[in-house]
Amino acid sequence: MFSYFIILAVIYALLLFGEITRRYGYKNLFIRREVENQFINEGEEFKVSIIIENNKWLPVSFLLVKELIPKGLEFHGEDIYIANNEYNYHTSRYSIKWFERIKRTYSYKGLKRGTYLLKEIYVDIGDIFGFYTDENQIDNYMELLVYPKLASLKDLKLNTTSLYGDNVIRRWIYKDPLYIKGIREYNKEDRMSDIHWKSSLKMSKLMVKDYDYTSEFELVLIIDVQCADPYWRNISTDSVERAISVSAALAKQSIKEGVPVGLWTDAKLISYKTNISTEIEPSLHSFNSIMETCARIDYSPKFAFNEYLLQRSKYFKTNCTYIIITSFLNEKSIGILSMLRRAGYSIKLIDISKELGIPSIANIEKINFTKGVIR
């Protein structure tokens, strides 16, 4: 009989101990998340760590941590991973001693360009037998940016020049007619208007003027995400992704060749922290800012592109080339671009639509991007 009471006492003590550890489990328990890199490229893996500190004498025998994973990020690890149509999440279990610190590291992969928010961490603490649990929510917000893939510039079909060789972007964007550094032999990439006829007659072969470039010349890439009229209908995610990838590639190549680059867009930008400007001024150090903006671009335009062009037209400069990357232009946008070109501004178009159906505009060179979906 005495042994029976001893067994009951032991069971009661264990239950009491389990209840105490559950009830006071959150006291001096600290859980946080660390990310190796908040700026990653599409397709790249990065490390995420969960750090748990139990700063009290009581252990936590049962600890369940659940993290929601936004669509577009993929979890790589050995813990329980559940996917459904609304969200993904992974669950990890822990048992932590008194005054112990645990750090568990696992991997995510950025599957798709975009801006992602790692949200709350849901925590369950239970007794030693798993009969009862207390759920709590820990606010741990963290923004992640997945940069886009860069398009291949070989898929841009230019009419007047090529994107190969030295200074190719500068040669395509602008030749300063006030600064001729010499004469050289003609090649198929040169314009007929650059032929130096006197030298050609003298040499018995076509010779052209060899230009140098002014350091003050700039480039602004304009990403238009409007895909139809009205501007909020028929959004094509593929077209927007192509525009972003082409812009990022052009920005990288242009800066590499010493051309200051800026970026404008009529798109909404996704940000969980502060308001982000949709305009980046031309600079030789703008590439990181451009890539961040490209990661934040939403598929929805803020307003019609013709309204955006009209609003930004007062900021156009004569020492700058403006490249419109778009899959759709309505008559109003075409009219505004024609007006700006007649006013002396340098404007070019890159058609990234699948059908390459952007209409030609007088005195504005149109370049076709012939590759299909970037992904």
Beta bridge partners of 157: 368
pLDDT, tens only, 4-54 = 667 665 555 555 556 666 666 678 889 999 998 999 999 999 999 999 999
Q: Which DSSP letter does residue 85 get?
A: S
Q: Minimal CA–CA distance to 227: which of 316, 115, 138, 358?
A: 358
Measured in degrees and rounded to the nearest 5, phi and psi for residue 222 equal -115, 110
Separation CA 115–CA 99 (nearest Å)? 37
Q: Which DSSP letter does residue 155 get?
A: G
- Read off the pLDDT band of 75 (50, 70, 90): confident
Q: How much is the pLDDT for 92?
A: 86
Check the CA dihedral 108-286-269-371 and report its sign. Answer: negative
Separation CA 338–CA 68 (nearest Å)? 49
pLDDT at 2 over 70: no
In the numeric block, the tokens 């080339």 are attached to: 321
Beta bridge partners of 318: none
Mean pLDDT of the region 199-207 = 82
Single pTM value for the model: 0.78
Separation CA 144–CA 153 (nearest Å)? 27
| Amino acid sitting at position 32 | R
User: Residue length, the chain?
Assistant: 375
- Read off the pLDDT band of 172 (50, 70, 90): low
Domains along the chain with CATH numbers: 26-147 (2.60.40.1530), 153-174+215-369 (3.40.50), 176-212 (no CATH)
The lowest-confidence range among 234-243, 308-317, 358-367 is 358-367
pLDDT, tens only, 248-292 = 999 998 898 888 999 999 999 998 877 778 899 999 999 999 999
Distances (CA, A) of 182 to 94, 211, 216: 73, 7, 21
Q: How much is the pLDDT for 165?
A: 37
